[in-house]
Chain A
Amino acid sequence: MPEAKITIRDLYLRYSDGKEALKHISLDIQPNAITVVFGPAGGGKSSLLKVLNRLIDLSDVEEMSGEVRMGKLDILERGLDVVGLRRRIGVVFSRPIPLPLTIFQNISFGLEVAGMRDKDELRARVEKALKQAVLWEEIYDRLDDPAASLSGGQQQRLCLARVLALEPEVIMLDEPTSALDPVSTAKIEEFLQEAKKDYTILLAPHNQQQAARMSDYAAFFLQGELVEYAGGSDMFMNPKDKRSQDYVQGRFG
């Protein structure tokens, strides 16, 4: 096994309403692979993703402890440069949320706030990102239109593109296809399969089929516990834990 991209040790998270969302999780996330984080609602999948790029800072948290590292970087450190972290770990949300700006500006936003000023450079990066997200062909002639004028599927690929534009190391996707039709879903899945050679990908899947289809590794979360962590095929063909067995075979959830 190659060295893990992100190591999580004994991660514990409790929101200020007393809800324990993550109960002492330990997990190694492998580079250049798709790690699927799945399980029934409320299991803590989104919470885990929020911790990894510190979007959790926007929530009311009572206690967060343990250790999360990406290389030398201590992700839970208090004085961490969270802005830098978020550029390295991008996230796509379950619902397409284009910023109320133009298509171009949606993608250039992350670059501009990072200090990129050069117009040509911005243009090149925007184009590259749109091509990566397989969106360029459809919209290259209306980059200055409002992003809201795109279809839902296009919007979600735009959201993907603006993450890619930052050239992150890790891409997290939280049920990215839950609001999309099958064709748009297929486009995104196709992209992910292609992209894993360059990125570390974390995916909270939209359903079991997607989980099984996409996973190189899979982590099963149940009420804040990491029940089982295994290679994708092992998890879905031959789960070890009784609870993951039941869930994978559709006996509860």
Chain B
Amino acid sequence: MIEYPQYKKPFYALSKQNSQKVGFSFIRLITLVTILPILGIIAYIVFKGAGSITWEFLTAMPSDGMRAGGILPAIVGTFYLMIGTAIFSIPLGIAAGIYLSEYAADNRWTRLIRIAIVSLAGVPSVVYGLFGLGLFVLFFKFGISILSASLTLSIMTLPVIISTTEESLRSVPYRFRVVGVSLGGTQWQTIRRVILPQALPGIVTGIILGLERAVGETAPILFTGATFFLPHLPGSPMDATMALPYHIYVISTQVPGMPSGIQYGTVLVLLAFVLGMNLIASLIRSRARARRQW
């Protein structure tokens, strides 16, 4: 047998398959670089903060210029802000989402509404803060208060709720609307009894994600409702309040000599708050998907 000299590719000329292999590895690497820092950050915060989480930390007032004691007023304040934001943004957001999905004609006014929503979604959070200061704090004279901050956060949250509501409603097949109307239902009756219940899990998910974002925001409440320190819990919506995100800002930049345990503990509480909401949202979504009949 004759041995033909075999043509050998230089090592750097990759075959199609090999270049794919290299490419894929590269993309995998990029994904790792993207994902790992976040997981690392979460793990790090849990690691450094878990030791500080005691019953007292969660339920006591701060003491010694916030360098000791607990963070109860910040937790309660964040909770109040969340409730306040929910009260204003949920009804309005759902109604607006229903309008866009069910009632709005495809005309210029509707397009204008859509542009407005997109714009609202893009307004920087600190600009919301300025707006809240101008409108609620000063013009309506609500002062630096839970009310002003909640209203500001509500408007910021609105686009999220509107868009998810609209999207969830649109994903419910059109034929159900035709059937509902053909059986003598009015448009609203059909929406309320048939369409909304089907869209509800999606809407709730959107609400939670919207509130999650509101709860973690600092800039919009900086000059509308947040206060450095409060020796008692806020007693009315007209009071200013402490809040977890602002408190984190304060104890990590404004208070010298903060024990790092308290810092990490506070960060961990906020993180747990936010990720907990995220988890609930995903659970609702996946359960609803499993149950869906269409």
Contact = CB atoms under 8 A, between A and B. Distances in A.
Interface in B97-121: none
A210 B133 CA distance: 72
B178 A55 contact: yes
Given A100-B294, A146-B293, A148-B293, A53 B194 contact: no
A100 B181 contact: no
A53 B178 CA distance: 12
B183 interface: yes
A97 B183 contact: no
A166 B179 contact: no
A58 interface: yes
A221 to B, nearest CB: 21
A110 B293 CA distance: 21
B293 to A, nearest CB: 4
A71 to B, nearest CB: 18
A162 B179 CA distance: 10
Contact of B184 (A97, A100, A110): A110
Given A58-B181, A110-B183, 10 more contacts: A58-B178, A87-B184, A97-B175, A97-B178, A101-B193, A109-B180, A109-B193, A109-B194, A148-B294, A166-B184
Contacts of B179: 93, 97, 99
Contacts of B175: 93, 97
Question: 7 nearest interchain CB pairs?
Answer: A110-B183, A87-B184, A148-B293, A113-B185, A113-B189, A86-B184, A100-B293
A90 interface: yes
Interface in A97-126: 97, 99-101, 109-110, 112-114
Nearest to A58: B178
A65 B21 CA distance: 67
A173 interface: no
A109 B183 contact: yes
A112 B198 CA distance: 19
B194 A99 contact: yes
B198 A114 contact: no
Contact of B183 (A58, A100, A148, A163): A163
- State which size class the interface on A falls in: 20 to 34
A83 to B, nearest CB: 5
Contacts of A112: 193
A97 B176 contact: yes
Interface of B: 175-186, 189-190, 193-194, 197-198, 293-294
B186 A100 contact: no
14 contacts: A55-B181, A58-B177, A58-B181, A86-B183, A90-B182, A93-B175, A97-B179, A101-B194, A110-B183, A110-B184, A110-B185, A113-B190, A148-B293, A162-B183
Contacts of B294: 100, 148
Contacts of B198: 100
B185 to A, nearest CB: 4
Given A58-B181, A100-B294, A113 B176 contact: no
A163 B184 CA distance: 10
B74 to A, nearest CB: 43
A90 B185 CA distance: 12
Given A113-B193, A146-B293, A148-B294, A99 B182 contact: no
Contacts of A146: 293
A55 B182 CA distance: 7
Given A100-B198, A113-B193, A86 B182 contact: yes
A98 to B, nearest CB: 8
A86 B180 CA distance: 10
A239 B193 CA distance: 48
Nearest to A95: B175
B184 A99 contact: no
A166 B194 contact: no
Interface in A190-230: none
A91 interface: yes
B252 to A, nearest CB: 50
Contacts of B194: 99-101, 109
Contacts of A109: 180, 183, 185, 193-194
B186 A113 contact: yes
A101 B195 CA distance: 10
A99 to B, nearest CB: 5
A110 B185 CA distance: 7
Contacts of B189: 113
Given A109-B193, A113-B186, A146-B293, A99 B181 contact: no
